[in-house]
Amino acid sequence: MELWQALVLGIVEGITEFLPISSTGHLVVVEKLMGLPVNDPAMIAFTAVIQSGAIAAVLVYFAKDIFRLTVGWVKGIFVPAARRELEYRLAWYVIIGSLPIVLAGYFGQDLIKGSLWNLWTVAAGMILWSGVMAFAEHAATQVRSERQLNLTDSLVVGVAQCLSLVPGVSRAGATITVGLLRDLDRVTATRLSFFLGIPALVGAGALELGELRGSENVSTAALLVGTVVSFVVAYASIAWLLRFVAKHTLMTFVWYRLGFAAFIIILLLTGTVTAT
Percent share of the chain, pLDDT over 70: 92
Indicate the pLDDT class of residue 205, thresholds 50, 70 and 90.
low
pTM of the model: 0.89
* Greatest alpha-carbon span in the chain: 64
pLDDT at 211 over 60: no
Over residues 142-168, the pLDDT tens digits come to 999 999 999 999 999 999 999 888 888
Packing angle between helix 41-49 and helix 3-16, nearest 10 degrees?
50
Indicate the pLDDT class of residue 208, thresholds 50, 70 and 90.
low
More confident residue, 203 or 34: 34
pLDDT, averaged across the chain: 89
Distance CA 23, CA 20 (A): 8
Distance CA 65, CA 80 (A): 22
Over residues 213-259, the pLDDT tens digits come to 555 667 888 889 999 999 999 999 999 999 999 999 999 999 999 99
Exposure string of 184-218, with b = 16+ CB inside 10 Å and e = fewer, is bbbbbbbbbbbbbbbbbbbbbbebbeebbeebeeb
Nearest to 172 by CA among 203, 154, 152, 197: 197
Residue ranges covered by each domain of the chain? 3-269
Check if the beta carbon of residue 151 is closer than 8 Å to that of residue 158.
no
Indicate the pLDDT class of residue 109, thresholds 50, 70 and 90.
low
